[in-house]
A and B are shown apart, each in its own frame.
Chain A
Amino acid sequence: MIDRRSVLAMAASVWMTARAGTAEVPVAPHALKRICDLIIPRTDTPGAVDAGVPDFIWSLLNTWHRVDERSRFLADLRQFEVLTLATDVPGPATDADYARALRECQSGSAGEPMQRFFASVQSLVVLGYYTSELGATTELRYDPIPGRFDGSVDYLDIGRQWSS
């Protein structure tokens, strides 16, 4: 039986190679989608994946990040995938594995670089979600032209944070 860590390393190296070359990987990798979903899940409102956040982050990595920043992010993401598999249970990483790995990143128990990775990816997911059309209009209150200013209104009349 092939060690699952080796499978992962091979898979990761495929898209890493693609990135390093001229061809862009068109879709966000699975691990990034899992992270987005864990940070802002679908509840009574759409979640980060519904709002297209994985593709937003993937597009930023390809157009906004500098080469060294992108390389670091992708290396950290690969390291994150390794973390998801750091368990005695064989088989592909489960949702619980991803959640555990993300907690380890956030708490610092996976090391300082992975804690930085968490802060970086969390801020991108938050930005991507609350500035998306779905996030801004369904999760928050969106009113681009209020037409008035009231300095003291009952919060219950608004019920949510303004999206701006």
Chain B
Amino acid sequence: MTSNAVEFDAIVVGSGVSGGWAAKELAEKGFKTLVLERGRPIQHGADYVGEHMPAWKRRFRGLPDRALIEKHYFQQARVPAFFDDTTVHYWHRDSDSAYIEDPTAPFDWKRAGVLGGRSILWARQVNRWSDLDFTANARDGHGVDWPIRYADIAPWYSHVERFIGVSGSREGLPHLPDGEFQKPMELNAAELEVKRAVEQGWRDRRVIIGRVAVLTEPIGERMACHYCGPCQRGCSTGSYFSSLSSTLPAAERTGNLSVVTNAIVESLEHDETGKRITGVSVIDALTRNRTRFSARVVFLCASTVGSTQILLNSRSERYPAGLANSSGVLGKYLMDHIYGVRIGGTLPGLTNLYTRGNRPNGMYVPRFRNLDDASPTLPFLRGYNFQGGAERAGWREMAKKLEPAFGADFKNQLRQPGPWQAYLLGFGEMLPVAENSMHVDFKQRDQYGVPRVGFSVRYRDNEQRMIDDMLKEGTAMLRAAGATDIRQARGLNLPGQAVHELGTARMGRDPRTSVLNAFNQSHDLENLYVTDGACMASSSCVSPSLTYMALTARAADHAAARLKAGYL
């Protein structure tokens, strides 16, 4: 393409939670917006082929399709996280492009391969961060200070929550601020027992229903949840938030949206001053043809790793170590949440009680460690939370335990649900460390000719000591609830497995030590914004997607003002 005319007001790279929000906000503000998505196009509803599929219709009845995995999904299938035959069509095919694996520092990178990205496949937990999180780096000196505080983002949390729909309970916790909630889902009978025991045993601990981007009340055409259970298969009633059900249709309604799928963004080009992006270089995944698009402003929302991959691959004389990388920190300070710790036990009694409906949510134990500087001294910095729940054991589990193990009595026993089982899963904050990083290897290219990504990430002492504490405290809480037969698992605990990867193009106050400013705008290039997980300066222990969405809406507002004022 030779035209130098600017074709769009804005280009958004990626269509997941962040890209969808950038597209909606920019299009609604009147800007001609192009979304570039490297994945395949899919239609809301029509392409949710696994939705409500009964077990007897599933290929191999849910057993993993090992031949398919070995051929196409050898990296994606490694972390269970919703990968199965009912969702396989949404995932990235590793046979198309695989990341480089380092056996000495394994990192799992889960990627979607369709329009809407991982917004289709996420676990939908949406909690606000607080100043406990935004001041963490400043207080203990790890990482650089966040250039924003809770007050800067709070109105944007509200803006996002009202649109996506969040069900949850108001708790008045300063470190887990309440939001704009629809009515909460219920804790079940056994979870209420856990709540009672934990809140009686520890004044500083709470057990609450998860705050989740699943509707309990309708919003427009999106209906309240019908409790079929496995959201990740896709929801044709739009009851959970995804780009396909929510933001992209909103952007579409403005008439300002264009979407190009199968569009692999290879790199960005800049002008002679090095201060402006002039073009986006794209490879068509089907034809391998290269094209170029241009716009007044570019939003990178290609996911933490995807966005930084594009920047690292955009080398020039002005930016030999990667675009927007004057600071030299691009690709560094990669984080995830500690994930893999599981404590489970049997709760005796309550066998006269059961549940109706498949609640796509669980119970949540907000962080209770290191909440203020007066906390007793612990051998680790920062904190963790638990997601969890309780349910009655089902036939899969009971069949392995019953005596006799076959026959009419066996069958009759399996007809009943088993005892209540409670479990807690630890999610811990990972410190920002420069050596935890990603890179692109110009000597190893995928079939499109794009340099492949590699990782060097390890949990270190602080993370290991936090895991020890999770196991101890999780066990104590289940024991207090009366659980027997308590089992602990430290888990593999490899970075990437929480699928909360974040960092690598961090926000900060100082252009010498950060990539982005307080509005997610590049310090180096004024018309470049990065608003996905790459922007994060610390990890908190709180699930990050809501914060990506709020930061994206806030950045879009900033960019809109600059565009209207003629600066961009």
Contacts of A164 in B (CB 8 A): 229, 358
B54 at the interface (CB under 8 A from A): yes
Contacts of B173 in A (CB 8 A): none
CA distance A153 to B352 in the complex (A): 8
B150 at the interface (CB under 8 A from A): no
Whole-angstrom distance between the Cβ of A103 and the nearest chain B Cβ:
9
Q: Which of B60-68, B123-131, B199-207 is the contact stretch?
A: B60-68
A132 at the interface (CB under 8 A from B): yes
B178 at the interface (CB under 8 A from A): no
CA distance A160 to B396 in the complex (A): 15
| A148-B61 contact in complex given A102-B406, A126-B395, A161-B414, C-beta closer than 8 Å | no
In the complex the two chains form, is A144's CB within 8 Å of B405's CB? no
A26 at the interface (CB under 8 A from B): no
In the complex the two chains form, is A41's CB within 8 Å of B411's CB? yes
B344-375 at interface with A (beta carbon < 8 Å): 351-359
Whole-angstrom distance between the Cβ of A38 and the nearest chain B Cβ:
6
In the complex the two chains form, is B406's CB within 8 Å of A38's CB? yes
CA distance A56 to B55 in the complex (A): 13
Q: Which of A6-14, A17-25, A72-80, A133-141 is the contact stretch?
A: A133-141
What sequence of 0s and 1s flags, for each residue 550-566 of chain B, a beta carbon within 8 Å of any chain A beta carbon? 00000000000000000
A89 at the interface (CB under 8 A from B): no
In the complex the two chains form, is A161's CB within 8 Å of B394's CB? yes
Contacts of A161 in B (CB 8 A): 392, 394-395, 414-417
| A152-B55 contact in complex given A38-B407, A161-B415, C-beta closer than 8 Å | no
In the complex the two chains form, is A131's CB within 8 Å of B61's CB? yes
Q: Total interface residues on B, using CB and 8 Å?
A: 50
Whole-angstrom distance between the Cβ of B565 and the nearest chain A Cβ:
49
In the complex the two chains form, is B61's CB within 8 Å of A56's CB? yes
Whole-angstrom distance between the Cβ of A23 and the nearest chain B Cβ:
21
In the complex the two chains form, is A60's CB within 8 Å of B228's CB? no
Pair count A-B, CB < 8 A: 139
In the complex the two chains form, is A133's CB within 8 Å of B61's CB? no
Whole-angstrom distance between the Cβ of A35 and the nearest chain B Cβ:
9
CA distance A38 to B405 in the complex (A): 10
In the complex the two chains form, is A151's CB within 8 Å of B355's CB? yes
Identify A155's interface contact among B353, B395, B404, CB under 8 A. B353
A54 at the interface (CB under 8 A from B): no
CA distance A39 to B407 in the complex (A): 5
Closest to B404 in A: A106
CA distance A153 to B353 in the complex (A): 5
What sequence of 0s and 1s flags, for each residue 49-92 of chain B, a beta carbon within 8 Å of any chain A beta carbon? 00010111010111101100000000000000000000000000
Contacts of A71 in B (CB 8 A): none
In the complex the two chains form, is B358's CB within 8 Å of A154's CB? no
Closest to B186 in A: A151
Closest to A56 in B: B61
In the complex the two chains form, is B54's CB within 8 Å of A144's CB? yes
What sequence of 0s and 1s flags, for each residue 73-93 of chain A, a beta carbon within 8 Å of any chain B beta carbon? 000000000000000000000
Q: Which of B187-195, B270-278, B298-306, B435-443 is the contact stretch?
A: B187-195
CA distance A27 to B186 in the complex (A): 48
Identify A147's interface contact among B60, B226, B229, B354, CB under 8 A. B226
CA distance A66 to B407 in the complex (A): 29
A64 at the interface (CB under 8 A from B): yes
Contacts of A47 in B (CB 8 A): 411
CA distance A155 to B187 in the complex (A): 17
Whole-angstrom distance between the Cβ of A153 and the nearest chain B Cβ:
5
In the complex the two chains form, is A40's CB within 8 Å of B411's CB? yes
In the complex the two chains form, is B355's CB within 8 Å of A153's CB? yes
Whole-angstrom distance between the Cβ of B449 and the nearest chain A Cβ:
35
In the complex the two chains form, is A149's CB within 8 Å of B356's CB? yes
B185 at the interface (CB under 8 A from A): yes
Contacts of B356 in A (CB 8 A): 146, 148-150, 153, 158
| A155-B354 contact in complex given A41-B408, A161-B395, A161-B415, C-beta closer than 8 Å | yes
Contacts of B415 in A (CB 8 A): 139-140, 160-161
B412 at the interface (CB under 8 A from A): yes
Task: Give 26 CB contacts A-B under 8 Å.
Answer: A38-B406, A40-B406, A43-B411, A64-B65, A64-B66, A106-B404, A106-B405, A118-B405, A123-B399, A126-B396, A131-B62, A132-B55, A145-B228, A146-B228, A146-B356, A147-B226, A148-B227, A151-B186, A151-B355, A151-B359, A153-B353, A153-B354, A153-B356, A161-B394, A161-B415, A164-B229
Q: Which residues of B contact A (CB under 8 A)?
A: 52, 54-56, 58, 60-63, 65-66, 185-189, 191-192, 225-229, 351-359, 392, 394-396, 399-400, 404-408, 410-412, 414-417
Q: Which residues of A contact B (CB under 8 A)?
A: 38-41, 43, 47, 56, 60, 63-64, 66, 102, 106, 118, 122-123, 126-128, 130-133, 136, 139-140, 142, 144-156, 158, 160-164
Ranked nearest first, the 5 interchain pairs of A and B with the lowest CB-CB distance are A151-B188, A149-B357, A131-B55, A151-B186, A146-B357
